[in-house]
Amino acid sequence: MDYIIRPCVLADAETLGKIHAQAWHESYEKNLMPEDTLLTSGPDIARAICRLPNMTAVPEQGGYFLVESSDKRIVGFGECGAARKIAEFAPGEIYHMYLLQEAQQQGLGRKLLFTLLDYLGRSGMEKAGIKIHADFGPARQFYERCGGQYAGERVTQSGNRTFAEAVYVWNEISRLLDKAS
């Protein structure tokens, strides 16, 4: 099956909410997130998290991209913009990046990541980062394989549980993208 990565439009909001909830569960079910957090990650919560009504491709508001199959099914998405939670590490941040399990191991994660980094680079940010659950080994390995450098950790709270998030950064985005193309 062929896939494309394209900018989101407001009409994608409901589907993206469902994809966000499904990918969240597929990724974090294995004791990484508390049950109460998993239960509240439904489509309405995902829509609010993604702030989809603000999709205007303004760097301060963020870039929103999705992965769509040739049969028009959305199987993943990413959102990025000016740093909100990791400003001490980088001026640009990838807020969300999710692929359904069925779309993983096909090179789509790397393509989506580099699309997000390209958007940030074109928005004038030469350094960007992402935060992930520190105990989520597969994601850490993925970002390291894609050139992400471990930059440190931050502590966050979800439900009544506190956990560490690892931060990965990419320096000199324009140079990285030149090498990748």
State the pLDDT at residue 93. 95
Distances (CA, A) of 178 to 44, 64, 120, 157: 38, 22, 14, 37
- In a 13 Å sphere around the CA of 136, the CA atoms on its Cβ side amount to 23
Tens digits of residue pLDDT in 45-66: 444 444 544 444 444 456 889 9
Distance in angstroms (rounded) separating the CA atoms of residues 94 and 113: 9
Stronger pLDDT, 33 or 76, i.e. the higher one: 76
Tens digits of residue pLDDT in 135-149: 888 899 999 999 999
Paired sense of beta strands 161-170 and 63-69, if any: unpaired
- In this predicted structure, the answer to whether residue 78 has a pLDDT above a threshold of 80 is yes
The DSSP output letter for 168 is E
> Domains of the chain by range and CATH?
3-180 (3.40.630.30)
* Residues 6 or more apart whose Cβ sits within 8 Å of residue 153: 134, 164, 165, 166, 167
Tens digits of residue pLDDT in 109-133: 999 999 999 999 999 999 999 999 8
Distance in angstroms (rounded) separating the CA atoms of residues 112 and 81: 14
Stronger pLDDT, 87 or 12, i.e. the higher one: 87
Distance in angstroms (rounded) separating the CA atoms of residues 16 and 78: 10
